[in-house]
Amino acid sequence: MAKVGRPKNPPKPRELMKDIFPVNSIFTEKELKIYNSYVDTYLNDFDQNELTVSDMDDIMNLATNKVLEIRLLEESKGDATKHLDISNAMEKLRKQSEKMKENLSARRRDRIDPNKYKGFSIVNLAVAFDDERKKDLIRKQKELNKEEEEAVLKRGDYSGNRFDKDVKEKEEVKYD
């Protein structure tokens, strides 16, 4: 009997976009590196657990469009008439890419919980920074005090050069 339904362990988005889809048969080795780099870069902007199929489609299409753009530019290199011919296709690719970026951005904004950061302000950041700075300074002060104590202990009974002319005995020095 064939299993029905969604697999229990679906592939990870990165694996799906780079290994399962037949990108190896579409792109050259050089183009595949560009595609994979773009997919990785876009995926780093998202929590892998929150990605939807639409997100993955947009990311794959963005990376594919970038590779196709580069391919078109390489084909027209050094030939002004070819460059003019491909400018229309490039403009369409760029418009599609901008639309996909807007879609990704809108879906990401929709996932943000507005109550998560409610009541959080720049004052909270400043206080947190001050607390961290204060902890660092206290830690550094303790380290310096410890070093000073060690230096004093190493010095032992050394009281400086007591035979200098301007050195007075300890009993003679009075503080007011």
Reported as half-sphere exposure (CB side, CA atoms, 13 A), residue 145 has a value of: 6
- For 120-130, letters b (16+ CB in 10 Å) and e give eeeeeeeeeee
Interatomic CA distance for residues 125 and 131, integer angstroms: 10
> For residues 118 and 110, what is the distance between their CA atoms, to the nearest angstrom?
16
Q: What is the DSSP string of 18-46?
A: IIIS-HHHHS-HHHHHHHHHHHHHHHTTS
Residue 30: its pLDDT value, please? 92
**Is 69's pLDDT higher than 70?**
yes
- Winning range, highest mean pLDDT, from 44-53, 70-79, 92-101, 102-111: 92-101
The answer to pTM > 0.75 is no
Which of the 8 DSSP states describes residue 10? P
Comparing CA positions, the residue from 69, 64, 10 lying closest to residue 32 is 64
pLDDT surpassing 80 at residue 115: no
Q: Judge whether 112 and 81 are in contact, CB under 8 Å.
A: no
Share of the chain above pLDDT 70, in %: 76
The model's pLDDT over 4-47, given as tens digits with 9 standing for 90+, comes to 766 566 667 777 677 777 778 888 899 999 988 988 888 888 77
pLDDT-derived band at 2, boundaries 50, 70, 90? low
Question: What pLDDT is stored for residue 20 in this prediction?
Answer: 74
Residue 169's pLDDT band (cuts 50, 70, 90):
low
Q: How confident is the model at residue 75 (pLDDT cuts 50, 70, 90)?
A: confident
Distance in angstroms (rounded) separating the CA atoms of residues 23 and 36:
9
